[in-house]
């Protein structure tokens, strides 16, 4: 008798919990903008990030994605400053910001890459704008 009562109480609790915890439709209430996002390769694309915009820093060394939020306009500038550096939060490796160019035909911006000490590209940035 006692085990039947405990079973009924657990069942009522489970049903109550299931109605309380309901899944939302994709894109509603999530902290990220779901969908497809392309990597930013130019300085202008990175500098266009504004306070509150999110971006993903993808590390090809440890195969991790670090999602961060722009705190101020200076942070967006620092993400593409020639000779600056960014760090992977997962593997703690440091990448140096390098500009390459000159700009191609019909473009006015230089390509921004994140490289290791040996010059190998190791990270890329993906804007996730609101």
Report the C-alpha gap between 58 and 128 in whole angstroms.
12
Q: Is the pTM of this model over 0.75?
A: no
Longest dimension (CA), the chain: 82
Omega cis (within 30) before 102: yes
The 10s digit of each residue's pLDDT in 44-98 is: 999 999 999 999 999 999 999 999 999 998 999 999 999 999 999 999 999 999 9
More confident residue, 66 or 108: 66
Structure tokens at 127: 């804007």
- Mapped onto helix, strand or coil, the DSSP state of residue 40 is strand
């Amino acid at each position: 008798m006692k085990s039947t009562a405990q079973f009924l109480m657990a069942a009522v609790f489970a049903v109550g919990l299931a109605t309380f915890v309901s899944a939302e439709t994709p894109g509603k209430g999530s902290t990220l903008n779901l969908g497809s996002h392309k990597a930013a390769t130019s300085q202008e694309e990175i500098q266009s990030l504004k306070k509150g915009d999110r971006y993903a820093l993808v590390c090809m060394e440890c195969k991790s994605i670090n999602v961060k939020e722009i705190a101020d306009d200076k942070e967006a500038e620092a993400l593409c400053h020639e000779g600056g550096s960014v760090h992977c939060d997962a593997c703690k490796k440091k990448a140096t910001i390098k500009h390459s160019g000159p700009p191609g035909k019909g473009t006015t911006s230089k390509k921004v890459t994140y490289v290791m000490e040996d010059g190998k590209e190791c990270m890329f940035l993906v804007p996730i704008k609101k």
